[in-house]
């Protein structure tokens, strides 16, 4: 099971004493997947050992650069983990 979606983070910055602020939008592509095979077997074993239900889950988020060419590289962050 894999899913991919876009997420826009919108921030509004208000200078001290200002009534209006400026907005900044950052776009991210996010993908997540449920682990299968040996990873799922490991999660099952650890679930029995620690009596906590664990789910093998992985996700990655990549910041999409601006289209005006101001940024040429995407920032990538990934955190494989077992969720309970």
pLDDT at 84: 47
Q: What CA–CA distance (Å, rounded) separates 21 from 44?
A: 50
Summarised one tens digit per residue, pLDDT across range 49-71 is 999 999 999 899 999 887 655 54
Residue 34 has pLDDT above 70, yes or no: yes
The domain spans of the chain are 2-10+24-83
Residue 74 has pLDDT above 70, yes or no: no
Q: How far is CA 60 from CA 7, 8, 18, 65, in A?
A: 12, 15, 37, 16
Residue 43 has pLDDT above 90, yes or no: yes
């Amino acid at each position: 099971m894999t899913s991919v979606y876009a997420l826009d983070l919108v921030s509004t910055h208000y200078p001290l004493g200002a009534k209006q602020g400026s907005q900044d939008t950052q776009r991210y592509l996010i993908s997540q997947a449920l682990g299968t095979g040996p990873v799922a077997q490991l999660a099952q074993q650890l679930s029995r050992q620690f009596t906590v239900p664990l789910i093998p889950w992985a996700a990655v988020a990549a910041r999409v650069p601006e289209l005006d060419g101001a940024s040429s590289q995407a920032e990538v962050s990934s955190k494989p983990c077992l969720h309970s």
